[in-house]
Amino acid sequence: MTSGDGLTTVDELQARYGVEGRLTFAMGEDSFACVTMMSPGSCASVTLKGALVQSWRPAAAINDVLWMSDVAPSDARKPYRGGIPVCWPWFSAYPGDGAWPSHGPARSSAFGVVNAVASDEVVRLEMAPMMTMPVPEPIEGLQLRVVVEVGDQLTVALETQNQSERPISLTQALHTYFAISDVADIRIEGLDNCIYADALDGLRRVRQSGAVTISSEVDRIYATDGGPIRLVDRPQQRCVTIASEGSRSAVVWNPWIAKSERLGDMASGAYRRMVCIETANAGDDAISVAPGQSHRLIARIACDTLPKSN
């Protein structure tokens, strides 16, 4: 496989970018290169299939912050379920033409390495699609870079540049799957008083009252003030904070029982151990990028230990 700078094999990537104990490249079972990024504060793994961050574990954490399904996709061309899927250059179904893949082509596409560096505190990986991804004509001309930084926090950025001669509107998301102790024991703070569109009720607008708790399928696009969102998981003594830049919407999703069984790539009961809190430009938060301009959607994820709950 070739990469952003023309390197073709894992050995060449390792020779060009590898840093012992900090940045290593290996071939995954799926024939995509997998990058292990290690800093004093945390470590992560990224597959070049979809530029997917599959794992992030802070040095002080016992368990991974991200959830990955134990069940492989039924078809090697399908994206993995879990980690931080890149939904780009549209979120959910492409408007007016359901033939296009839900959440866009990026998460199933092969990416190459544009650059990879390790400083004292942070490892940085920059990726780009290896081929021009097929998209509807109205949004042709957008270029994507995915940048992952691993330090005390995990930062993921989608950098979109409009290389066409016309403004282009896009929606997108970092569709982050968080690992939790149990869906009954978590609360999501920071969305109080925000209006959400309920995807389970014809996108009816509802005002959130208090923290988000989950006791059935939830699929909501929140209009946010861009402030931090906190996932509080007391049994794990963990509080994960998701800060964003370039985003005024967030998606909260849990498939619950019936949908998780329909998906076909989630083990029975797995819905209880995951929740998606997605840093997005979705719903009414579509982004218009002027010719020659660019937009960055950034999620900064931090994990802190909560005092033992009495």
Name the residues that contact ligand TA6, by CB under 6 A: 92, 102-103, 175, 199, 219, 251, 253, 263, 276, 278
Toward ligand TA6, which CB reaches closer, 56 or 271? 271
Phi, psi angle pair for 12, to nearest 5° = -70, -40
As measured in angstroms, the least distance from the Cβ of 173 to ligand TA6 is 7
Toward ligand TA6, which CB reaches closer, 64 or 219? 219
Please write down the long-range contacts of 205-214, taking CB distance under 8 Å and 24 or more positions apart.
211/187, 212/187, 212/188, 212/252, 213/186, 213/187, 213/188, 214/183, 214/184, 214/186, 214/254, 214/275
**Residue-by-residue DSSP string for 288-310:** EE-TT-EEEEEEEEEEEEPPPP-
Toward ligand TA6, which CB reaches closer, 150 or 251? 251
**Residue-by-residue DSSP string for 153-169:** SEEEEEEEEE-SSS-EE
Beta-bridge partner residues of 299: 156, 244
Tokens of 293: 């301009």
Toward ligand TA6, which CB reaches closer, 214 or 276? 276
As measured in angstroms, the least distance from the Cβ of 92 to ligand TA6 is 5
Tokens of 121: 């505190």
Toward ligand TA6, which CB reaches closer, 22 or 175? 175
- Asked if 134 contacts 109 with a C-beta cutoff of 8 angstroms, the reply is no
As measured in angstroms, the least distance from the Cβ of 221 to ligand TA6 is 8
Toward ligand TA6, which CB reaches closer, 5 or 217? 217
Q: Which residues, at least 6 apart from 98, have a Cβ–Cβ distance to it below 8 Å?
A: none
Toward ligand TA6, which CB reaches closer, 24 or 224? 224
The residue among 167, 250, 145 whose CA lies nearest residue 241 is: 250
As measured in angstroms, the least distance from the Cβ of 102 to ligand TA6 is 4
Toward ligand TA6, which CB reaches closer, 246 or 255? 255
137: exposed, middle or buried (Cβ count in 10 Å: 0-12, 13-18, 19+):
exposed
As measured in angstroms, the least distance from the Cβ of 40 to ligand TA6 is 33
As measured in angstroms, the least distance from the Cβ of 164 to ligand TA6 is 27
As measured in angstroms, the least distance from the Cβ of 301 to ligand TA6 is 17
As measured in angstroms, the least distance from the Cβ of 259 to ligand TA6 is 8
Beta-bridge partner residues of 34: 26, 47
- Asked if 213 contacts 185 with a C-beta cutoff of 8 angstroms, the reply is no
- Cα–Cα distances (Å) from 286 to 153, 182, 223, in that order, read 27, 33, 11
Sign of CA dihedral 89, 272, 52, 251: positive
